[in-house]
Chain A
Amino acid sequence: MADFIYLYRGGNPPSEPDEVQKQTHKWLAWMKELGANGHVRAGNPLERHGKVVRGKSKTVTDGPFAEAKDLVGGYLLVHAKDFDEALELSKGCPILDMDGTVEVRAIHLVNVPAVDGDA
């Protein structure tokens, strides 16, 4: 087993309360299923606004000012057998139905301890 991160980007916001309700429900159902199958390690939405620190001078600027579709809106740490399973699981994500994307990345663990309960 290994850990992966899903990065959520974009996703057209619904315009009416009943759509918000439907989407929230889809997400809750999806997350519940992932959680019930032991795939979810942690996950959180990100605040919309932040700052960016750059360079040796540690310049702080407002941002990130990416297009809404490129902005990371949240992340999920996923526990899966291998990359293929993590990728397959990501296809159930409701954000895909609303024009958003999920970026799936394996977390490269350096110096993994020899004892792994799941192995």
Chain B
Amino acid sequence: MSDRRPHDVSDLELGNLFRREAGRMTSALARVFGVHNLPLVEDVVSDAILRALEVWKISGVPENPAAWLTAVAKNRAIDVLRREKTARTFEPALAAALSTEWALVPAVEEAFRDEVVKNEQLRMMFACCHAQLGEEVQVALVLHLLSGFGAREIGAAFLVSEAAVEKRLQRGKAKLAEARSLPSIDEGRVAAHLGAVHRALYLLFNEGYHGAHREGSVREDLCAEAIHLTSLLATSDATKKPSTFALLALMCFAGARLPARRDTNGELVALEDQDRARWDHALVRRALAALESAAEGDELTAYHLEAAIAYEHAAASSRADTRWDRIVALYEALMQLAPSPVIALNHAIAVGEAEGPERGLEALEAIDDADQLDDYPFHAAAMGELLLRMNRRAEARRAFEKACAKARTPDERRWFATRLRACSDA
């Protein structure tokens, strides 16, 4: 038994490995095959991954599983290129190299170099966030092509059917296939489209963080992927703008709280009441570093303001110690910059903390477009909290009953039910 020494890899690591490497291989292969040959790219990627399963299940996971996968994908790509070079057109920029045997192998090797893969992933990100694609298509494409999520998983995360996700992906891939090359990342493109990329990553993160989907590990994977992809933007010369750092800071602050979002019984805990010792302090440090980089330059984006709010929560040692007046001011700035009923709701909650429940309730009742919050259970719940603090128990109870009725997940329902019971306590 000397020839078989399985390398011990935990379940989670392996999961991230296959996904992440699928994303890397897809971008590298799109460079070689051209983005119009995505089906071929995906065949090669899934082939490499399946081969890994076939071999690793018996021989154990090799010392460097990522390199193993890459080697299989490269060989397979070279086979495909040799076999199909007369039948297909590949990436036009590489056409010359791919037409000669002596240059073909180096061209494939080059595409899998770390620096090149990273750049290809950026190009893929910009391609996925194509202006003519809806945001739901953009996010599905990012998750699928860059993060290796399958249609079933994406569907589970966004509470839509696998078939609907397939449709979105098909629509997106058809758009990508209109160009043979991925877009180049120059100043002009970054200026025009970085905002859309940020937006897609922000949605991705939010879906993981606040999403209405079922409990489970998918949501935290979404947050981790959003942070990973944003970090990619933050470490690339063309895209490391203050707004990128602000987005990264905001995600890292929020991501740091994930471990404390549930108590020991698995129930949700409100931000202000979380056990801060359970926050991921390494992620808090990353957030602080990103926030510092975000402050360079004079750009002020909604992400800056959201990151600053997250910073206030992170800097406070408790609910009472939180500088609510600053949070109110930041929400006011955010309402100017990016007005939305949800921002107005959060503003009202902060006013309630800073200036007392009466003022909070006034702010809550003053929200424009409050009807858009009708299906958002935290609107009713916020009203319940304020009324409860004013000891208007009957009204508070009605508000929490409404929140219970609107709850989107069992987690939320249990949370509102707990608050409802608090209305009856003496």
Contact = CB atoms under 8 A, between A and B. Distances in A.
Nearest to A41: B1
Interface in B26-66: 46, 49-50, 52-61
Contact of B6 (A15, A20, A31, A41): A31
B202 to A, nearest CB: 24
B285 interface: no
Contact of A40 (B1, B15, B19, B22): B1
Contact of A94 (B14, B52, B57, B153): B57
Contacts of A22: 11, 15
Contacts of B9: 28
Given A20-B52, A24-B14, A28-B6, A44 B59 contact: yes
Contacts of A14: 50, 53
Interface residues of B, number: 31
Contacts of A41: 1
B4 interface: yes
A35 B60 CA distance: 11
Nearest to B55: A45
A40 B59 CA distance: 11
Contacts, number: 92
A28 B18 contact: no
A20 B1 contact: no
A79 to B, nearest CB: 9
A21 B18 contact: yes
A25 B56 CA distance: 10
B259 interface: no
B155 to A, nearest CB: 11
29 contacts: A8-B58, A16-B150, A16-B151, A16-B152, A17-B148, A17-B150, A18-B15, A18-B19, A18-B153, A19-B150, A20-B50, A20-B53, A21-B11, A24-B18, A24-B56, A24-B61, A25-B14, A27-B53, A27-B56, A27-B57, A28-B57, A31-B6, A31-B57, A31-B58, A35-B4, A40-B4, A44-B58, A74-B57, A94-B57
Given A21-B17, A28-B60, A32-B6, 17 more contacts: A16-B149, A17-B19, A18-B149, A18-B150, A20-B18, A22-B15, A24-B52, A24-B53, A27-B58, A28-B6, A28-B9, A31-B58, A35-B1, A40-B1, A40-B4, A43-B4, A45-B57
User: Which 4 residue pairs of A and B lie closest in terms of their CB atoms, listed nearest first?
Assistant: A16-B150, A27-B57, A17-B18, A21-B15
